[in-house]
Structures are given as C-alpha cells and as structure tokens.
Amino acid sequence: MKKLTLVIATAAVALFLAGSTAKAVSASGTLAVTATVTSQIYMTFDTDASGVTLTGSGSNAATLPFGSVSAFSAPPANVTLTLQATTFTISTPMDVNVRISNPAAASANCKLTAQLASADATNTWTVGGVAVTSASAATINSTLAYQTGNQTTGGVSEAVAIAVPYTEAAATISNTINFTATSN
C-alpha cells in the first residue's frame, strides 16, 4: 500500500514538472506602418521598332540622333526621306509611353502636347504630323492611351519629322522638344 502511494506521488510530481516546463511563453510588439500614396503620371520615350535608336530610351530625357542626312543620298537606317518642292523631310517614329498611377480622379487617357524649346525660323518640326514651334504647346494627341505596368517598350508611336529647305547650308540641326502629358 505504501509502495503504491509512493508511485502515485512520484507520477504526480513528474506530471507537474513536465507541465510546467512545456508551458509556452509569449510576448508581443507593435509596428505602426505609414505610407502616403501620391498621384503620378509618368512619361518615357522608347525606341520604336521601326525607328532610330533613342539614346536614353526608357527615360523621360531621351535623344533622337538622326545622323547625317542629305536630300540626295540614302538616309540612315530607320530614317525616311521624302522630297518636296522646296524642302526635304526626314522622319522617324518614336514611342511615347505615358503611365498613370493613383490619380485623384479616374482618368481614361491623357492629352499630349509638344513645344520646341528654342525657336527655329528655318526648319519645320512636326510630331505626329502636327507642327511644333516654340511659340506655344501644340496638341499632338488629345486622347493618348495610357500604358500599364513598368514597361519600357511599347507606347504610342509618334513620328518626329524635320523639313529642311534645300537652300539651308550644311550644319547640325538640334533642338529640344518638350512633351507634356495631362490626364483627362
């Protein structure tokens, strides 16, 4: 009888100890996470599959190098040359890639305008067939479709062209076209 009591007591102690060591202990902490979403409309210029390779393609500050052109010799690759009565025109397509994120109000598309940074009294500049001057911003596309995602290719193809008079002396022609996309 004494033996049985001892066994029961030992088992009880063992169970108690086992229970106490297996008991899980927990602790907690809090991390407050803050973010401020901002509206963004983002434009990049991308090399068109049929166009001159842009320097800085995929950025919003690209360079379009037409190269050396002449009315009487073959144009560089992906440059189209057309001859008119008093001028010759060089043209190449490039892609305008406009994306939008978290607009304050839903926007289906945007308006694209372009303007020359410096006046050019000799040559005629066009984008998408629309004359572009330094006087004011010209509307190139009033319902330009947005692109989606983080893509750096695609976009809407717009032809950039320069009409050069035959009388113009050989020289480097350079100007900057400022584009603006405004959500509709």
Partner 1 sequence: MRLRSILRALCLPATLALLVCPLRAWGQVTSTGYINATLINRSGIAVIFDSNSGGVSLGGNASSAASLNFGAISAFGALSPGVTRPSVGANSFTVQSLFNVQVIEGGLGSPNYTLSAQLATPAPTGFTYQVDTISLSTTAQTIQSNGTYNTDVQHTLDLLVLSAAPSAGGPAVGTPLTTTINFTATSN
Q: How far is the CB of 44 from partner 1 (least distance, A)?
A: 9
Answer whether 124's CB lies under 8 Å from 163's CB: yes
Exposure on the CB side of residue 139, measured as CA atoms within 13 A: 7
| 98 is an interface residue for partner 1 by CB under 8 A | no
Among the listed residues 10, 40, 53, 176, the single contact to partner 1 using CB under 8 A: 40
In whole angstroms, how close is the CB of 21 to partner 1 at the nearest point? 7
> CA angle, 42 as apex, 41 and 47 as ends, to 5°?
145
Q: Are the C-beta atoms of 160 and 94 separated by less than 8 Å?
A: yes
x/- site string to partner 1, residues 146 to 175, per CB under 8 A?
Answer: --xxx-------------------------
Instruction: Give the 3-state secondary structure of residue 7.
Output: helix
DSSP, collapsed to helix, strand or coil, labels residue 6 as helix
Residues forming a β-bridge with 109? 145
Q: Is 144 helix (H, G, I), strand (E, B) or coil?
A: strand
Q: Are strands 124-127 and 156-165 parallel, antiparallel or unpaired?
A: antiparallel
CB closer to partner 1, 87 vs 183: 183
> Which residue among 1, 74, 85, 105 contacts partner 1 (CB under 8 A)?
105
Contact flag: residue 19 with partner 1 (CB under 8 A): no
Residue 125 or 146 with smaller CB distance to partner 1: 146
Q: Give 4 or 32: the residue with its C-beta nearer to partner 1.
A: 32
* Residue 28 touching partner 1 (CB under 8 A): yes
Contacting residues toward partner 1, per CB under 8 A: 21, 24-40, 42, 99-107, 148-150
